[in-house]
Structure 1
Amino acid sequence: MYDVVIVGAGAAGLSAALVLGRQKRSVLIVDGGRPRNAPAAEMHMYLGRDGGAPAHLLADGRAEIEAYPTVERISGQVSGVAGADGAFEVTIDDGRPVQVRKLFFAVGVTDVPWEIPGLAERWGSGVFHCPFCHGFETDGLTLAVLANGPDAALGAYVADRYSDDVVVCTNGPSTIPDPLRAMLDKTGARVVETPVEHIEGEPGSLRVFFADGSVLERQALYHRAPTTPNTALTRALGCEHFDDGCVRVDEFGKTTVPGVSAGGDAAHLAAVPEPVTLVAPAAADGVRAAVWLEQDLFAETFAD
């Protein structure tokens, strides 16, 4: 019987394991091995590691938790969860069942870029999703933004902050709301409604090919791809989820199911519209949730 099983071994999951390991809790981390930011060469806004490689942070985190003998990390996927607070059963993809008292889900989200040839292949390398993460590095460059509807606000943002040469490519007829269109006009961003056929080039020299035969040369491209939260397991347990697919948590990182906590990109408070999908908040989520999981485990020891 483990004290806590942590599903997901990114910044949130490893941070939770570090806290619990230091409290001598028996912890199993199930590491799916597919971090969302794996394509990115750098991460930012993580104090002390700004500009460092995401892979280095995870490697250092894994090495740090190895110092705690009660923490075990395995590679694999969780294929099923069942049970209730104090007596959960987790099934690993190799078929073995694991008994555990508490659960922490740090499962993240999956990006789903538009189906334009060449777009997904350049994800994180020349094609960026977040101006907080990459805006400073694209300052002064010629930019394209693949977006339509309300998401075209990203075009107004980068045009206001980082470039005086921004083209918003809607990949077809525009559904940009009039107030947002006025914002784009004010910033000088141009809107192109011609469908995009494919994207070629290398970072710093990209070419967007349109259906009418025209070509747009850009130094970088932004695309806030739709995301799919990886929340099948929390749904199976009956946790409440928002319309965006993320699991609902409270200020302690707890879901609506006793004994189940969550953090990172696939979880947020009811008071905020969406998670802040940055590495530092994910790590903070893991620390916060682990502290309160420890408090619950401690209290239950004496309640028994």
Structure 2
Amino acid sequence: MFDVIVVGGGPAGLNAALVSGRQRRRVLVVDSGSPRNAPAAEMHMFLSRDGFSPAELRKLGRDELSAYPSVECRDGRVDDVTRADGGFIVTLADGQAYQSRKLVLATGQVDLTDTVAGLAERFGRGVFHCPFCHGWETRGMTLAVVGHELPQVMQALYVADRFSDDVVVCTNGHPVPEPAVGRLAAAGIPVREAPITRIEGEEGDLRLVFADGVVLERQAVYHRAPTRQHSALAEQLGCELLPDGCVRVDEFQRTSIPGVYAAGDTARLAALPDALTFVVTGAADGARAAVWLDQELFREDAGLAG
């Protein structure tokens, strides 16, 4: 019996395990090895680790967990979670099953980057989703913003305000959303509505090839890709989901299912418009979940629950 099983070995999951391990809780981390930021060579806005490799951060995190004998890390995919005996039974793809009193879901999201040929191969390396994460590195560059949904198109106003005076919106065969038409025009941001056939080139030297034969040369592209949950476990457990598919949590990182916490970009508060995709906020969510989870375990064991 583990005190807590953490599903997901990214910053949120590893930090939850670290905090729990330091409280001498018995913890199992199960990691499928397919993090959302795998394509990115660098991460940013993490104090003391700005520009650090996301893969190296995960490696260092696991190394640090090895100092705590009560924490175990297991590579694998969780296929099933059921509630049993006041806790949970977690079953992996290889058939191994483990029991825990509490559960932390830190499974993250998946970016759906199949809208344009060549986009997925360059995602995180020339094609970027977030100007907070990559804006500084693209300052002064020629930029394209790909997308036709209002949040995608409005991203062009932001990057034009902060990082570049040469931004083109490419809606890939769709009209510009009406609320953005006047704003883009007032900002002097041109729009190409022709379908995009493919994206070619390397980071710093990209080419957007359109169905009408036009080729737009850009140094970087922004695309706020739609997302889905990386794992169906939250839905399987019956956790409440928000309209965008994120798991709804409260200020304690608790889901709507007792004993189940969620951390990182898999979850968000209902009051927030989006799940934050930053490494540092994911790590913070993991710590917050572990602190309040530990207090819940303590109250239960001391007969103070209720």
> TM-score, normalised on structure 1?
0.97
Secondary structure, in 3 states, of the residue corresponding to 2:302?
helix
Deviation at 1:187, TM superposition (A): 2.0
What is the one-letter code of the residue matched to 2:47?
A: L
Conserved? CA contact 2:249–2:270, under 8 Å:
yes
Question: Distance in 1 between the 2:177 and 2:116 partners?
Answer: 20
Partner of 1:34: 34
What SS does the corresponding residue of 2:18 show, helix, strand or coil? helix
SS in 1 for 2:264: coil
* Structure 1 equivalent of residue 221 of structure 2: 221
8 Å contact kept, 1:110–1:227: yes
Other-structure match for 2:104: 104
What CA distance in whole angstroms lies between the structure 1 residues aligned with 2:99 and 2:55?
31
Which secondary structure does the structure 2 equivalent of 1:45 belong to?
A: coil
Q: In the alignment, what sits opposite 2:156?
A: 155
What residue in structure 2 maps to residue 164 of structure 1? 165
Residues of 1 paired with 2:28 and 2:300: CA distance?
20
What residue in structure 2 maps to residue 15 of structure 1?
Answer: 15
Q: CA offsets per residue over residues 272-298 of structure 1, 9 Å max, x none?
A: 122111111100000000001100111
Give 2:128's aligned residue.
Answer: 128
Tell me how far 1:114 sits from its aligned partner: 4.0
Question: Does the 8 Å contact 1:7/1:104 carry over to 2?
Answer: yes
After the TM superposition, which segments of 4 or more aligned residues of structure 1 sit over 3 Å from their partners? none
Percentage identity across paired residues of the two chains:
58
**Correspondence for 1:263:** 263
The answer to whether the 8 A contact 1:108-1:265 is kept is yes
Query: Take 1:175 and 1:206, find their aligned partners in 2: how far apart are those partners?
Result: 23
Kindly provide the amino acid, as one letter, of the partner of residue 38 in structure 2. A
Tell me the SS of whatever aligns to 2:157.
helix
Q: Counterparts of 1:269 and 1:207 in 2: how far apart (Å)?
A: 38
More deviation, 141-150/77-86: 77-86
SS for the counterpart of 2:265 is coil
Instruction: Indicate if the aligned counterparts of 2:2 and 2:26 stay in contact, CA closer than 8 A.
Output: yes
Conserved? CA contact 1:102–1:259, under 8 Å: yes
Evaluate the alpha carbon distance shift between residue 99 and residue 149 of structure 1 in structure 2; reply closer, same or farther with a 3 A threshold: closer
CA distance in 1, matches of 2:85, 2:34: 28
SS of structure 1 residue aligned to 2:102: strand
Q: Residue 235 of structure 1: CA displacement?
A: 1.2
Partner of 2:174: 173
Deviates more, 1:104-113 or 1:181-190: 181-190
Contact 1:159 1:188 in 2 (8 A): no
Please give the alpha-carbon distance, in whole angstroms, between the structure 2 residues aligned to 1:235 and 1:38.
25
Q: Is the 8 A contact 1:118 1:198 kept in 2?
A: yes
Amino acid at match of 1:156: L
1:46–1:279 contact (8 Å) kept in structure 2: yes
Shift of 1:87: 2.2
Question: Which runs of structure 2 are paired with 1:148-297 in the superposition (5 Å)?
Answer: 148-150=148-150, 151-177=152-178, 179-297=179-297
RMSD: 1.2
Secondary structure of the residue aligned to 2:37 is coil
* CA–CA distance in structure 1, aligned partners of residues 119 and 197 of structure 2: 10
How many residues are aligned here? Answer: 303
Cα distance, 1:173 vs structure 2: 2.8
- How far has the Cα of 1:186 moved from its partner? 2.1
Give distance in 1, aligned partners of 2:209 and 2:85: 54
Offset of 1:156 from its aligned partner? 1.1
Query: Do residues 69 (structure 1) and 69 (structure 2) align?
Result: yes
* Alignment partner, residue 3 of structure 1: 3
What do the CA deviations read for 1:106-163 (whole angstroms, capped 9, x no partner)?
A: 0100000143211111111111010000001100100011011302001111111111
